[in-house]
């Protein structure tokens, strides 16, 4: 039942049906996960990314999260983050915001998430990280003034939104002139042109794009044993969590491995 439920959810997202209902379902799901999956070393909710070439440096205590941090490293690599104001939209349990705050010397990092329970969990897991804070808010109606940030990060979150163009317009609004928007998420390969149309808000100029799919599949493989061990502790929803986490044999894993689903990165700059 878990896999059929997840399959139907993915199909409805791909076809654009019931966007407001989908957004409500995702919020309830993440609230539920944050309340009942309380592992103190689980700061990330993404599928991960293994880049080619020389591994980027990490402190020993962060090595267990390397594959998940990989999506954030590629997001900010070669961007002028030091001394700037950073916003992560869809910050989840806060591991990505924490990584940027600890490794890239920004002036500040704010994590914004729609799930109140998830924000509470992020605050608990990442307490004591300098210049890092978390707020509850809607990606489509951000609670910030115009030009409040220099860098906006959005990782594996936009598929939960009811109105991606509204999100992109909000990104353009809260970015200062010359600011950067760095994005990564998955879509059916046939809908990538639509995604680019949705993200192309007035004032945002596309500066680069990448297909991360191979590195994401490598990360899913690298994290498989750890995920299976944790999912095995569950009494309920094991099949659903296997699908949700992208375990081997899941719908999303197969889609990424066969090329039907693409995991892509985009970079934009605020004109001005």
Backbone φ, ψ for residue 32 (5° rounding): -65, -45
3-state DSSP assignment of residue 136: strand
Return d(Cα 212, Cα 219) in angstroms, integer.
Answer: 11
Distances (CA, A) of 70 to 56, 57, 120, 170: 9, 11, 24, 26
CA 69 to chain centre: 11
Distances (CA, A) of 83 to 33, 101, 261: 34, 10, 36
Q: Is 246 left (phi over 0), alpha (psi -120 to 50) or beta?
A: left
Return d(Cα 161, Cα 4) in angstroms, integer.
Answer: 22
Answer yes or no: 156 catalytic: yes
11 contacts 243 by C-beta, under 8 angstroms: no
Distances (CA, A) of 111 to 62, 119, 151: 19, 8, 12
Return d(Cα 40, Cα 148) in angstroms, integer.
Answer: 31
Return d(Cα 174, Cα 149) in angstroms, integer.
Answer: 6
First vs last C-alpha separation in the chain: 51
Task: List the catalytic residue out of 88, 156, 170, 243.
Answer: 156
Hey, which residues are catalytic here? 156
């Amino acid at each position: 039942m878990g896999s059929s439920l997840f399959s139907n959810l993915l199909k409805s997202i791909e076809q654009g049906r019931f966007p407001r209902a989908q957004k409500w379902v995702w919020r309830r799901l993440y609230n539920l996960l944050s309340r009942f999956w309380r592992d103190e070393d689980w700061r990330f909710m993404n599928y991960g990314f293994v880049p080619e070439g020389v591994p980027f440096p990490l402190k020993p205590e962060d090595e267990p999260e390397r594959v998940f941090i990989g999506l954030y490293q590629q997001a900010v690599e070669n961007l002028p983050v030091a001394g700037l104001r950073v916003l992560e939209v869809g910050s989840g349990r806060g591991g990505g915001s924490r990584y940027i705050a600890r490794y890239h010397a920004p002036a500040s990092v704010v994590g914004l998430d729609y799930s109140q329970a998830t924000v509470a969990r992020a605050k608990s897991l990442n307490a004591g990280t300098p210049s890092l804070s978390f707020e509850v808010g809607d990606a489509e109606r951000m609670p910030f003034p115009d030009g409040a940030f220099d860098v906006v990060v959005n990782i594996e979150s936009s598929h939960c939104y009811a109105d991606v163009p509204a999100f992109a317009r909000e990104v353009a609004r809260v970015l200062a002139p010359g600011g950067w928007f760095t994005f990564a998420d998955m879509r059916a390969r046939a809908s990538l042109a639509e995604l680019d149309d949705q993200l192309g808000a007035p004032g945002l100029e596309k500066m680069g794009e990448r297909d991360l799919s191979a590195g994401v599949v490598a990360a899913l493989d690298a994290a498989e044993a750890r995920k299976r061990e944790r999912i095995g502790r569950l009494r309920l929803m094991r099949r659903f969590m296997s699908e949700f986490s992208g375990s081997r044999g899941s719908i999303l894993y197969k889609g990424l491995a066969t090329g039907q689903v693409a995991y892509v990165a985009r970079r934009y700059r605020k004109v001005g």
